[in-house]
């Protein structure tokens, strides 16, 4: 069977470029169309994009002509890295036209019939897809900082119950898209505000860690307070987290919960699944963005500095690669999980 044809919406952006980098050699998917705004449509990709990935732009992709984001693209799946100012309507139009839409944008994340999917955490939430009335379906990724945080909370919540979370983020520049933050604003500086971000981190985990009841997702009861900062790091969001637990746990139990944690992607051996989703560092100075964001090809989340918190119970540091685990890499893992577990409802099978 041939590979599944896929299109990328927002292909010129920070997340769109990561999609190309990670899909170009994917065993199941083949990039058949690229789309972006009217500023780029009609141009060859290499003339429209400012390619800033560390791997060279694949020549075959560079020659592709960019389409407008209209639902006439060659492909069965569309991976969306669209600016959230326009993503909502465009993604709906693609779902109405029968495409499986795998989105990174915030627009549909909290819709009741849309899974806010993190494959290691809530694969059962895919059940709400059956409630979507369109011929195609929409599945979303969370915010990039939410993703690392929820990965770290999941095994603790399952085993000990998480009651409250306080998180301070140090977020990388690539999280602001391209061209993102002006150099004169960020060099020699930290910006203690990222529009809309704290809201997302305080609400999205509740849906992701929620449980299915009578076909709908009931939110988890966790109090979350977030403070977000932009720092002069290229890739990799660091988060300083304090938590309160429902049941007391020792330091050794928490570390064991993280290091032994595995999810459905590991069990199914999906192509993009990290072998070990959570890595714990015992060295006081780790994890660090520059050193550890690429662990397991950027798909693993790193944790360190677990110690007692005088205000809540425990505090620690979490690091995740924002455009890989926090965006394109996770979106591709979402698509792999859907094809592997729900091939009948989406009408797609694994090539081979
Ligand atoms: N960066 C991250 O770490 C990250 C993580 C998780 C989620 N996200 C989300 O993913 C999405 C993309 O983020 P990004 O950082 O890649 O942003 P970006 O670099 O600004 O890229 C935005 C893309 O959207 C396209 N676009 C803009 N206006 C459009 C329009 N009117 N019609 C059609 N296409 C349009 C742009 O095309 P042109 O080049 O033609 O303008 C570009 O391809 C956002 O919703 C963001 O919130 C980002």
pLDDT (tens digit per residue) in 26-51: 999 999 999 999 999 999 999 999 99
C-alpha 121/C-alpha 228 separation (Å) is 23
- pLDDT tens-digit series, residues 191-209: 999 999 999 999 999 999 9
Mean pLDDT in residue range 109-126: 98
**pLDDT number for residue 347:** 84
Mean pLDDT in residue range 68-96: 97
Which residue, judged by its Cα, is nearest atom 3 of ligand 1?
175
Domain range annotation of the chain: 4-143+328-346, 144-320
Residue 1 predicted with pLDDT over 90? no
Ligand 1 center–CA 289 separation, angstroms: 23
**pLDDT number for residue 343:** 85
Which residues are annotated as catalytic? 144, 237
Which ligand 1 atom lies nearest to the CA of residue 84? 45
Mean pLDDT in residue range 93-114: 97
Residue 317 predicted with pLDDT over 80? yes
CATH topology of domain 4-143+328-346: Rossmann fold (3.40.50)
Is the CB of residue 16 below 6 angstroms from any atom belonging to ligand 1? yes
Average pLDDT, the chain: 97
C-alpha 80/C-alpha 96 separation (Å) is 15
User: For every residue of 303-315, which 3-state class applies, written as one string?
Assistant: EEEEEECCCCCEE
Among residues 50, 132, 69, 144, the alpha carbon closest in space to that of 106 is found at 144
Same fold, 4-143+328-346 and 144-320: no
Ligand 1 center–CA 221 separation, angstroms: 32
**pLDDT number for residue 345:** 79
**pLDDT number for residue 266:** 98
**pLDDT number for residue 49:** 98
**pLDDT number for residue 344:** 80
**pLDDT number for residue 87:** 98
Alpha-helix runs per DSSP H in 171-304: 183-186, 197-208, 251-259, 264-267, 289-292
**pLDDT number for residue 352:** 76
- Contact 247/160 with Cβ under 8 angstroms? yes
Ligand 1 center–CA 19 separation, angstroms: 12
What pTM was computed for the model?
0.97
C-alpha 265/C-alpha 277 separation (Å) is 10
**pLDDT number for residue 346:** 84
DSSP assignment of 102-116 equals: EE-SSTTTT-TTS-B
Mean pLDDT in residue range 140-154: 98
- pLDDT tens-digit series, residues 205-257: 999 999 999 999 999 999 999 999 999 999 999 999 999 999 999 999 999 99
Mean pLDDT in residue range 141-147: 97
CB atoms within 10 A of CB 169: 27
Q: Which of 10, 117, 178 to mutate to test the pocket of ligand 1 (most atoms within 8 A of CB)?
A: 10
Q: How far is CA 339 from CA 269, 271, 332, in A?
A: 13, 12, 11
Is the CB of residue 69 below 6 angstroms from any atom belonging to ligand 1? yes
Residue 326 predicted with pLDDT over 80? yes
Ligand 1 center–CA 85 separation, angstroms: 9
CATH annotation of 144-320: 3.30.360.10
């Amino acid at each position: 069977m041939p590979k599944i044809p896929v299109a990328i919406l927002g292909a010129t952006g920070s997340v769109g470029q990561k999609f190309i980098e990670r899909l170009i050699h994917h065993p199941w998917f083949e990039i058949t169309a690229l789309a972006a705004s009217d500023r780029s449509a009609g141009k060859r990709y290499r003339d429209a994009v400012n390619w800033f990935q560390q791997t060279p732009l694949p020549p075959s992709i560079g020659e592709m002509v960019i389409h407008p984001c209209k639902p006439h693209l060659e492909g069965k799946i569309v991976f969306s890295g669209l600016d959230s100012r326009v993503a909502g309507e465009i993604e709906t139009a693609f779902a109405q036209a029968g495409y499986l839409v795998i989105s990174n944008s915030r627009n549909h994340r909290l819709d009741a019939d849309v899974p806010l999917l993190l494959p290691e955490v809530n694969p059962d939430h895919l059940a709400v897809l059956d409630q979507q009335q369109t011929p195609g379906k929409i599945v979303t990724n969370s915010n990039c900082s939410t993703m690392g945080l929820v990965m770290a909370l999941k095994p603790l919540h399952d085993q000990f119950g998480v009651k409250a979370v306080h998180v301070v983020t140090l977020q990388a520049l690539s999280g602001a898209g391209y061209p993102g933050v002006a150099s004169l604003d960020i060099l020699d500086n930290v910006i203690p505000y990222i529009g809309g971000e704290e809201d997302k981190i305080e609400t999205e985990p509740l849906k992701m860690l929620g449980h299915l009841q009578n076909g709908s997702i009931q939110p988890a009861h966790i109090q979350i307070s977030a403070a977000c900062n932009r720092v002069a790091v290229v890739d990799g969001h660091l988060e300083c987290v304090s938590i309160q637990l429902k049941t007391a746990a020792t330091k050794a139990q928490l570390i064991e919960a993280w290091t032994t944690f595995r999810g459905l992607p590991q069990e199914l051996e999906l192509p993009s699944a990290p072998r070990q989703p959570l890595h714990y560092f015992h060295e006081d100075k780790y994890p660090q963005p520059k050193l550890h964001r690429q662990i397991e090809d950027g798909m693993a989340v790193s944790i360190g500095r677990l110690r007692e918190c005088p205000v809540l119970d425990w505090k620690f540091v979490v690091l995740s690669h924002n455009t890989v685990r926090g965006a394109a890499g996770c979106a591709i893992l979402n698509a792999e999980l859907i094809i592997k577990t729900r091939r009948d409802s989406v009408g797609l099978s694994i090539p081979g």
